[in-house]
Amino acid sequence: MKVAQAMGGDPGTASRPADATMPFEASFDDDGRLADYRFTPTGAAAQTAAKSATRFYDYGVPVDVKAPPAAEIMTS
């Protein structure tokens, strides 16, 4: 609610669903895993949102993930 007020919006409507739909397309790989996800906002969301496309791949490939140093992160 504070974010809505800070941006000049109405905090009373901030938690209500927008007048929008989010039609999407998705495709799956041969193993039934999500491979592509695309959506284009319509309705009220189309005024402030952009098209989005995401591709998922390399399922099961080992990764080496390390947390960033404390000096490089922020907390809220």
Q: Where are the beta strands (DSSP E) in 1-76?
A: 20-21, 24-28, 34-39, 42-43, 52-55
Residues 60 and 64: their CA atoms lie apart, in Å, by 13
Domain count along the chain: 1
Residues 15 and 5: their CA atoms lie apart, in Å, by 12
| Range of the structural domain that residue 45 is part of | 17-57
What is the model's pTM?
Answer: 0.50
- 62 within a domain of the structure (yes/no): no
Q: What is the pLDDT of residues 16-69, one digit of tens each?
A: 566 656 788 999 999 999 999 998 877 666 677 678 899 999 999 999 999 999
- 53 within a domain of the structure (yes/no): yes
Q: What is the pLDDT of residues 36-50, one digit of tens each?
A: 999 887 766 667 767
- 40 within a domain of the structure (yes/no): yes
- 48 within a domain of the structure (yes/no): yes
